Chain A
Amino acid sequence: MIKTKNETANEQWDIVINADKNKGISINWQELWQYRDMIWVLIRKEIVAAHLQTVLGPLWYVGKAVIMALTFALVFGMIARVNPTGVPHMLFFMSGLMFWEYFLNCMNKTGNVLRENKAIFEKVYVPRLAFPIAKLVAGLVPAFFELMTLVVAYLIYVFWVGSPVRPSWGVVYIPFLFLIIGGIGSSLGLIISALTIKYRDIAMLISYSTRLLMYTTPIIYPMQIVPKEFLPYLSLNPLAAIIDYGKHFLFNIPVYCTTTPLYSVGCLLVIFLIGIFLFNRVERDFVDTV
């Protein structure tokens, strides 16, 4: 009799704080849903706060995309001549950079999430995963502007310059490619944020590794010019398929990558699970150690 009473009482507790640290790779979706308004406010904060002090606001993304693509077009397209695809240099580099920048943005922002919001986490309980989610969504804004810049540049090349380049029907998949590459970036960010909490010198390693990753990703060169014996190895990079297929969809040029975006999705899942696992491990008690 008493026992059943206790059991029903136990079910009524809304919050149970216990010593169980091993949350594995579970995500408390219900809690994230309860905090959906906060996530929305955080997204708005990210977007608004990034532009309040700048005169040009989001126009900076346009300028940055154009200037970076110009530099790359000059150095790698016209001097090093690494672009034999027939796609105009500007469009070629702009498309690669667009994906890369979004990836980098997601990874770096998520990687900083615990440190950046330490002041909040020390004073109030919020589901910490909400912050990377906000970063992921807010990062779509600059990516959108870069995509628009590419679209405008594309139109100029097609209708003004009279370039023969045309997209393939697969261009409708571009948003999915963004999701995959942003997901990989954010998942890596989760791993980084968990590791940098424990080991401060990881941050140095990360900055080297990102540079290395950029050179092994077909951004500043097409997969076309990669020697055949290296192709399978370079294709192991989950970003390679995304960018090679992205360019295939955008410019209807042949695919050289030996892996497909499905492989990238597989990698994304693995990295994501590792990321959640590590993040769960540190998020609860990291305020004690930092």
Chain B
Amino acid sequence: MGNIVVQAENVSKKYKIGRLNADTLKDSIKHKWNRLFRDDEEHFATHEEDFWALRNINFEVERGDIMGIIGKNGAGKSTLLKLLSRITSPTEGKIKMKGRVASLLEVGTGFHPELTGRENIYLNATILGMRESEVRKIEDEIISFAEIEDHIDTPIKHYSSGMRVRLGFSVAAHLNPDIVILDEVLSVGDADFQRKSMAKMRSIAQSGRTVFFVSHSLNSIQNLCNKAIYLKQGQLIESGLVDDVVDVYKSTFKISTDVEVKNHITFNFDDAPGNELVKLQSAYVKAKDKGLDDPINMSDDIEVSISFWKLVEEGKFDVGIQVFDIERDLQILGSNSHMCELLDEIKTPNSRINFQTIIPKFQLNASSYYLNIVISDMEKKAIIFNAYCIAKFTIENITHFNKYRFLTKSRGIIRPLLNWNINIEK
């Protein structure tokens, strides 16, 4: 119990949208006048609409927790950060905290262009709640981390934007608070400095402090944090260990692809997807030499089959496939048949054509995938038909393929079986 350093109780934040405030004195007087002497209060009320950016948020954070905050844009992440950093106050509820809090939602807050880098260090650091004597002690560290030793006594109006953010980040990174509120935008600068600033953030996070971290990158969240909360439209959907919360968040991505998509599909001519050029008849993905419903293992060749009707006589059509990893929503492979000449020779309208290919075994990692079909006119260099997520298939996790060797899922995108040479030196 005593280890809880942040406690949020029923925190809600309401914004008024439509009309934020009475813009002018006249409006305000008019409003008051109408309230007093007229009955058209409704007329004014319609201008304002309540919008709950956060609703009844409850959570507790223990000392040393690194708390990731995830959610889509507009889910209330920034509002929560603003409340935690006391930039704005909640409409209802309260947040209690122990210790010194530093919120780093921006680098270089309060920098004044006319002042030198050194003077701005003091300005920025004291605004962030540091004592002047503390700054004096770590001044040299800040300067050398920012890599601007030569320009530290130059007014920062002469700095490049990169130098400014480096200085700002450096000050922020050397604060010594008990609770840190970090926004991902803090990792700044060129690639080199970004690596350095990310590493510094990690070391801040791991130095036993309590940290709030907001990022759109689930990778950074999972790398940095041990706990997380997931916000959706102002509500707290899930909180707990980071991997669990991220899984819940990720599962919301899948919903659109989960609906009734199987590893095989067949259409009647009349309601088949397509256009005046082609119509899709069927498609399937299965393990070669196995049944349609059998599981696919990593050690199986994967058979992809596509049948369609060609409705016109002319046309150098070609068939391509795209395989996407569902979880990452990342295209893993794309391939074309390169046999359009052949197709051009089929002059009979409404002829049915079947394309088949094999994705060799030990290419795809154990995961779930979906298949897109793209039919293009190679002469016009245009896509004439596109079937998104027409089939979904899963490659199973563990496969024993001989007595001594087996494969499990790895973290990578592909899971190739490589040829190894082993030399034993005696």
**Hey, which bits of chain A sit against chain B, CB under 8 A?**
5, 9-10, 12-19, 21, 34-35, 37-38, 40-42, 44-45, 48-49, 52-53, 117, 119-126, 198-202, 284-285, 287-289
Contacts and interface: CB of A to CB of B under 8 A. Distances in A.
B293 to A, nearest CB: 56
B155 to A, nearest CB: 7
A123 B87 contact: yes
Top 5 nearest A-B pairs by Cβ distance?
A125-B86, A18-B94, A38-B126, A37-B132, A13-B96
Contacts of B122: 41
A121 B87 CA distance: 7
Interface in B90-113: 90-101, 103, 105-106, 109-110, 112
A176 to B, nearest CB: 30
B20 A289 contact: yes
Main secondary structure of the interface of B (DSSP, over half): loop
Contact of B94 (A12, A19, A199): A19
B125 to A, nearest CB: 9
B26 interface: yes
Nearest to B100: A14
Given A17-B84, A123-B106, 20 more contacts: A14-B99, A18-B93, A18-B95, A19-B89, A34-B129, A35-B129, A37-B132, A45-B119, A45-B123, A52-B155, A120-B110, A124-B87, A124-B109, A125-B101, A125-B103, A198-B28, A199-B28, A201-B24, A285-B89, A289-B21
Interface residues of B, number: 50
B132 A198 contact: no
Contacts of B85: 124-125
Contacts of A52: 114-115, 155
B15 interface: yes
Contacts, number: 130
12 contacts: A14-B100, A19-B91, A37-B130, A38-B127, A42-B123, A120-B109, A121-B87, A125-B87, A198-B21, A198-B22, A199-B24, A285-B89
Contacts of A34: 129
Nearest to A44: B119
A119 B95 contact: no
B27 to A, nearest CB: 8
Contacts of A16: 94-97
A41 B95 contact: no
Interface in B1-53: 1-2, 15, 20-26, 28
B88 interface: yes
Contacts of A200: 23-24
Contacts of A35: 126, 129
B4 to A, nearest CB: 8
Contacts of B242: none
Contacts of B115: 45, 48-49, 52
Contact of B93 (A19, A37, A49, A126): A19
B236 interface: no
B155 A123 contact: no
B128 interface: yes
A40 B133 CA distance: 13
Nearest to B178: A14
Given A41-B126, A125-B103, A15 B86 contact: yes
A125 B82 CA distance: 9
B250 interface: no
B131 to A, nearest CB: 5
B112 A21 contact: no
B92 A19 contact: yes
A205 B281 CA distance: 75
Given A16-B94, A37-B131, A199-B25, A284 B88 contact: yes
A19 B96 CA distance: 12
Contacts of B91: 19
Interface string B238-260: 00000000000000000000000
A57 to B, nearest CB: 13
B57 to A, nearest CB: 12
Interface string B318-333: 0000000000000000
Contacts of B204: none
Nearest to A21: B89
A243 B82 CA distance: 46
A219 B177 CA distance: 52
Given A45-B119, A49-B115, A123 B90 contact: no
A17 B95 contact: yes
Contact of B127 (A40, A49, A126): A126
Contact of B22 (A5, A37, A199): A199
A15 B84 CA distance: 10
B26 A18 contact: no
Nearest to B96: A13
A15 B85 CA distance: 11
Nearest to A10: B96
A133 to B, nearest CB: 14
B24 A17 contact: no
B311 interface: no
A45 B127 contact: no
Given A52-B114, A124-B128, A13 B97 contact: yes
A44 B132 CA distance: 13
B83 interface: yes
Contact of B103 (A10, A13, A124): A124
A124 B97 CA distance: 16
B88 A287 contact: yes
B87 to A, nearest CB: 6
Contact of B97 (A9, A14, A19, A289): A14
Task: Choose among A12, A17, A21, A202 the residue with the greatest number of B CB atoms under 10 Å from its CB.
Answer: A17
A48 B181 CA distance: 32
A40 B132 contact: yes
A84 B25 CA distance: 44
Given A49-B112, A53-B114, A17 B90 contact: yes
A42 B84 CA distance: 25
Contacts of B28: 198-199
A34 B86 CA distance: 16
Contacts of A199: 22-25, 28
Nearest to A51: B114
A9 B90 contact: no
A125 B83 CA distance: 10
Nearest to A195: B25
A15 B127 contact: no
Contacts of B26: 201
